[in-house]
């Protein structure tokens, strides 16, 4: 079985998608349509912008979404998944790719999501930290023991988890986790506590937008971040997308569940190769590749 997976925020780079724009008329049309929908030329920033410009909230999430979904269009019938999944933001790319959501509606939702998350970040100072080389259960117990908002945010792969919360809570967690033997526990350069209760204002805002957006039955199951389980039910998909903002991304569990359900080849669709590495660490027997390999 073939699984196609879609990356989230952090995978952006200057020049992303320029080859698609220049070599495929359909892709050029999609980029121009995106420029119109967003009200600014995001394609110019993607192709020529510097790192700071690409890090703008209104740019980063739509840019990664566009790279992934437009790459799917370029793949044509080489995109033939039995199942799909996306990491955080990548879940929206996966849902457009498997026809649960239109390209246009997906882009509008991603843009609204980015802006809602930015507002939530500005409402309260918060942050995230990566914890390497420690059992997930122990990380969970430390988070629970702290009298502040600190929660697991991303279960990325075995022995690699990201925690999210208030700055004071994260500082306490880093100190305790280091004391208890974590190989590394370091703050990340992010604007806020994504996938935590501090994103509740953004969740409320996104819920309204998602409920107003038509979703269809997908062409194949999507393994969702919230529960790491496959779904083909549009109502369940919508509810899980909303819950995702304040819940952890269960990527390790999703990877292992896809493998247990028969996935033998994972193709990453979008910028970078982060997900290939995470899946390989979760199960060394997994076969992974970039979508670029299918373009050869």
Residues assigned a catalytic role:
88, 195
Q: How many CB atoms lie within 10 A of CB 207?
A: 17
The number of CA neighbours under 13 Å toward the Cβ of 165 is: 20
C-alpha R_g of the chain:
18
Asked if residues 164 and 195 have their Cβ atoms less than 8 Å apart, the reply is yes
Give dist(CA 174, CA 25) in Å, integer. 49
Torsions phi, psi of 266, nearest 5?
A: -110, 125
How far is the C-alpha of 282 from the C-alpha of 182, rounded, in Å? 18
The burial class, CB within 10 Å (0-12 / 13-18 / 19+), for 89 is buried
């Amino acid at each position: 079985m073939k699984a196609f997976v879609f990356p989230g925020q952090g995978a952006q780079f200057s020049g992303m998608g320029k080859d698609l724009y220049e070599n495929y008329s359909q892709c050029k049309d999609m980029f121009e349509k995106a420029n119109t929908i967003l009200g600014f030329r995001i394609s110019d920033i993607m192709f020529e912008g510097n790192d700071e410009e690409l890090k703008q909230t209104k740019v980063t999430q739509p840019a990664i979404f566009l790279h992934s979904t437009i790459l799917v269009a370029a793949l044509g019938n080489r995109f033939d998944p039995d199942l799909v999944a996306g990491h955080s933001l990548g879940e929206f790319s996966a849902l457009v790719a498997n026809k649960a959501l239109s390209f246009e509606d997906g882009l509008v939702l991603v843009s609204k999501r980015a802006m809602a998350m930015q507002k939530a970040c500005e409402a309260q100072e918060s942050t995230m930290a990566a914890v390497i080389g420690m059992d997930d259960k122990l990380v969970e117990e430390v988070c629970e023991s702290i009298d502040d908002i600190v929660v697991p945010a991303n279960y990325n792969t075995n022995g690699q988890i990201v925690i999210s919360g208030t700055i004071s809570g994260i500082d306490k967690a880093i100190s305790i986790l280091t004391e208890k033997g974590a190989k590394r526990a370091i703050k990340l350069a992010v604007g806020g506590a994504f996938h935590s209760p501090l994103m509740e204002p953004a969740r409320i805002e996104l819920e309204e937008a998602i409920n107003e957006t038509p979703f269809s039955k997908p062409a194949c199951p999507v393994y969702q971040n919230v529960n790491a389980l496959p779904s083909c039910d549009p109502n369940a998909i919508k509810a899980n997308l909303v819950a995702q903002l304040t819940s952890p991304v269960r990527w390790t569990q999703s990877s292992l569940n896809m493998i247990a359900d028969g996935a033998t080849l994972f193709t990453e669709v979008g910028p970078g190769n982060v997900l290939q590495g995470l899946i390989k660490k979760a199960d060394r027997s997994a076969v992974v590749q970039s979508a670029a390999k299918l373009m050869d």
